[in-house]
Amino acid sequence: MGAAAEPREPSTIPGMSRPRVYLETFGCQMNELDSELVAGQLHALGYRFVDGPESAQVILYNTCSVREHAEQKVWSRLGELAIRKQDDPALVVGVLGCLAERDGVALVKRMPVVDVLCGPGELDKLPALLDNAYRTRRSLLADRLTATDADRRSASQIALQGNSSRRSATLAAAQDSLEMLDLSRATSPLDTIDDDHPTAGAVRKRSAYVRITRGCNKFCTYCVVPFTRGAEVHRPPEHIIDECKKLADAGVVEITLLGQTVNHYRFEHGAAVTIGGVVQPQKGRSYAGGHRRDPFAGSNVTTFADLLSRIHEAAPTVERLRFVTSYPRDFGDDVLEAIRDHPRICRYLHVPAQSGSDRILKLMNRGYTVSEYLEFIDRARGFLHQPEKGRPLSLSGDIIVGFPTETDEDFAATIALVERARYKNCFIFKYSPRPGTTAYDKLADDVPDAVKRARNNAALEVQSRISDQLSREAIGQTFDVFVEGLSRMEEKKRERPAKACGGGVALTIGGNVIHSHAGVASGDEDDGGCSTRAVEAPSDEVSGTTQLSGRTDGDQIVFFDLPSGASADELVGRIVPVRIERVQRLSLFGRLCGRAEPVR
Ligand code: SAM
Ligand code: SF4
């Protein structure tokens, strides 16, 4: 799909002229990427994307089930659609992602308004499912059924991974068609699928996510991810590097590598399986862990450190290479050295601790102790914290409060860890019992909600103070800032949804239209997901000039006013020097310094 090649009329849906699709995304960066890839495929097939559900003929929710709150939002959306479908029985409704996988067919039984159910491991099948759903709905309507009967029937197009992992010892089972979804990614320089805003095609895509691993093998006792996204699987390095190169050629200057435990990435070439000429992703190997260097490193293996170095070398125009999320265990010195020795790898690590109590960490099955966690962050700072060279290390974390049996002492230990870690920002989540997980089955959710809330607020208060202190240290300093777009405040002023350098599908997180890759939900009560990238704090200020927002290498959010005579389009997607003059909560406010022209 690209600006040059007009999307063709969908041959798959007879009688429908470019069906209008609304796709709403909840949850993490992985879901954002999944939505982008799915949207690219559907657009190439002739579907057109709209930025509101009202005019859509197909409504898709890409869901998150990490916490109950995220699921509730989707249930309430589906309830509204059930009412709408009574008047609009041709409407096709799809639930994609983790909720689909977790609830399975029970979801359709509860909500017959849902025609398509597609787990995150089966998204490559979505075009066929939608096509079938369309045909089925049309035949239901053409049948002798009344429209009222039809609106109560689901077209029941279902693709779920179920309990079976995608890979097994057999070659046939090793075939990974989902890899084709990533491989078919569109990287046209002027790519857009935003049909509501066709001129957005003139905006080059400057920031992109690239998946390196899927799934997770950790089985933390509270977490649904190993069940919804399946076993940990590593993509072949050649596929990843090729994707990064293509994105770079298309003008992308910031790439974020994605995985649940990115530092576990490893590809063993001697064990690679090729099917139909395509090297297949490889199941993650489990091993004792606790190493300082990848124990399998060697000429026939691409370790995470190797992968970072190879991307850095292969895509020299990518100014910023990031990765999320890191697992605190098994983070070797080899990776820290790779970050230190490659100037375009960002000095930013998102390393969730989850708790500061060894007892709770054990119940969570995290596989490390508090002192091991602290040893890691000290070691990381030893390698990477170089403020005197203008390269500080910025850390962010996740904490769960109110895990079963958590006492005041356990919570005090968590606060001590937050104080000691001095995160730039930390996402604090109230424990949410998730059916199917070990914690749900074996541990009573015995911390009252009022206590969870109080601990959540107390932890937020501590973190806000630390974030504020760290922000203040930035005053007077000049940072290279990657300009993501107009600030939210600016967008609000103009009364239109944020449109940033990411281009691509109009993504919504937790119901809010977001900058395509800029802001996502925070870990507070309203996020509706588990996204862990600091969100732009609302600013009350109204200035007469145009305000832009961007991020530092350490992922700090920076606002600055567009200098008179400069155009926002010139600066968005560029890295420019900004001198910080003041701070407000998590945000830094500064002035573009030097010249108004982009520095790179
Ligand atoms: N893989 C990453 C790691 O282990 O560090 C985190 C991915 S998880 C999808 C994002 C965050 O959601 C976790 O770090 C955890 O803090 C939070 N989370 C996961 N399950 C949760 C639950 N049942 N209740 C509350 N928070 C949860
Ligand atoms: Fe969930 Fe992260 Fe633990 Fe995997 S490592 S089970 S994704 S919290």
CB atoms within 10 A of CB 424: 25
Alpha-carbon distance of 219 to 364, in angstroms, equals 9
Each of the 600 residues of the chain gets a pLDDT tens digit; together they read: 333 344 444 444 555 577 899 999 999 999 999 999 999 999 988 899 998 999 999 999 999 999 999 899 999 999 999 999 988 888 999 999 999 999 988 999 999 999 999 999 999 999 999 988 888 887 877 776 666 676 677 778 888 877 554 444 454 455 677 888 888 887 654 455 555 554 444 445 789 999 999 999 999 999 999 999 999 999 999 999 999 999 999 999 999 999 999 999 999 998 888 888 889 999 887 666 667 888 888 889 999 999 999 999 999 999 999 999 999 998 999 999 999 999 999 999 999 999 999 999 999 999 999 999 999 999 999 999 998 888 999 999 999 999 999 999 999 999 999 999 999 999 999 999 999 999 999 999 999 999 999 999 999 999 999 999 999 999 999 999 999 888 877 777 776 544 443 333 333 333 343 333 222 233 444 444 455 566 555 454 545 678 999 999 999 999 999 988 888 888 888 999 999 999 987 789 999 987 544 444
pLDDT on residue 544: 62
pLDDT on residue 67: 93
Across the beta sheet with 320-324, the strand order is: 207-211, 254-258, 320-324
Is 432 touching ligand 1 by the criterion CB < 6 Å? yes
pLDDT on residue 200: 44
Which residue's CA is minimally distant from atom 1 of ligand 1?
A: 260
Is 368 touching ligand 1 by the criterion CB < 6 Å? no
Name the closest ligand to CA 215. 2
Residue whose pair of structure tokens reads 């230990």 in the numeric block? 413
Is 121 touching ligand 1 by the criterion CB < 6 Å? no
Interval between CA 218 and ligand 1 midpoint (Å): 12
Closest CA to 285 of 328, 350, 349, 231: 231
Interval between CA 288 and ligand 1 midpoint (Å): 22
Residue of 260, 429, 441 best suited for mutating to test ligand 1, as the one with most atoms within 8 Å of CB: 429
pLDDT on residue 1: 35
pLDDT on residue 7: 43
* CA dihedral of 114, 118, 124, 129, whole degrees rounded to 10: -30
Alpha-carbon distance of 255 to 324, in angstroms, equals 11
Is 216 touching ligand 2 by the criterion CB < 6 Å? yes
pLDDT on residue 342: 97
Name the closest ligand to CA 353. 1
Closest CA to 480 of 599, 384, 305: 599
Is 223 touching ligand 2 by the criterion CB < 6 Å? yes
Relative to beta strand 394-401, strand 425-430 is parallel
pLDDT on residue 440: 97
Alpha-carbon distance of 582 to 434, in angstroms, equals 42
Structure tokens at 113: 């308004």
Structure tokens at 7: 């999307």
pLDDT on residue 2: 36
Alpha-carbon distance of 139 to 155, in angstroms, equals 10
Alpha-carbon distances of 328 from 30, 122, 529, rounded to whole Å: 19, 29, 22
Is 94 touching ligand 2 by the criterion CB < 6 Å? no
Residue of 33, 400, 414, 445 best suited for mutating to test ligand 1, as the one with most atoms within 8 Å of CB: 400
Structure tokens at 93: 């409704």
| Contact call for residues 567 and 585 (beta carbons, < 8 A) | no
pLDDT on residue 248: 95
Closest CA to 334 of 367, 301, 287: 301
Interval between CA 66 and ligand 1 midpoint (Å): 7
Alpha-carbon distance of 427 to 324, in angstroms, equals 14
Q: In ligand 1, which atom is closest to the CA atom of 325?
A: 2
Interval between CA 34 and ligand 2 midpoint (Å): 18
Relative to beta strand 278-279, strand 274-275 is antiparallel
pTM reported for the whole predicted model: 0.88
| Contact call for residues 102 and 228 (beta carbons, < 8 A) | yes
Is 349 touching ligand 1 by the criterion CB < 6 Å? no
Phi first, then psi, for residue 267 (nearest 5°) are: -125, 120
